[in-house]
Amino acid sequence: MNEPSAKVDQLAKDVVDACVEVHRILGPGYLESLYEEALAAELSFRNIPFERQKAVNVDYKGKSIGQGRMDFLVADCLVVELKTVEAFAPIHTAQVISYLKATGLSIGLLLNFNTALMKQGIKRIILTH
């Protein structure tokens, strides 16, 4: 397994802390887009660099076939995907893995804001090569 560096691991913890704060204030029940707005604000308050709705080029056998969009790319090294679902489905994990493969990054966070406690909605995904 390819564990992330201590710096990337700390960054992931900082993003989770920001998500916990957003969830603490808003609670569950809103649309994903509102959590995205709130998380962008919280990351800014904490001086954590990020890009929203980051385009990801998708190649097929060496040919570019289009783009996907990840919710956040944090500090050019962490994929963050938000959900507001009853429970994670395998397709949600697959989505993050696809973004990791497309970017060459090794760690992503899948975050579900539709939970009673934010800690119940956190999935850390590490791409093994």
70: amino acid identity, one letter: M
Taking the model in full, what pTM does it have?
A: 0.93
Per residue in 38-83, pLDDT tens?
A: 999 999 999 999 999 999 999 899 999 999 999 999 999 999 999 9
**Considering the chain, what percentage of its residues have pLDDT values greater than 70?**
98
Domain 6-126 grouped into CATH 1.10.10: no
Q: What is the mean pLDDT of the chain?
A: 94
* Residues in Cβ contact with 34 at an 8 Å cutoff, skipping those fewer than 6 apart: 26
| H-only helix segments in the chain | 6-26, 32-45, 90-103
pLDDT for 87: 95
What residue ranges do the domains of the chain occupy? 6-126
Helix, coil or strand: residue 79: strand
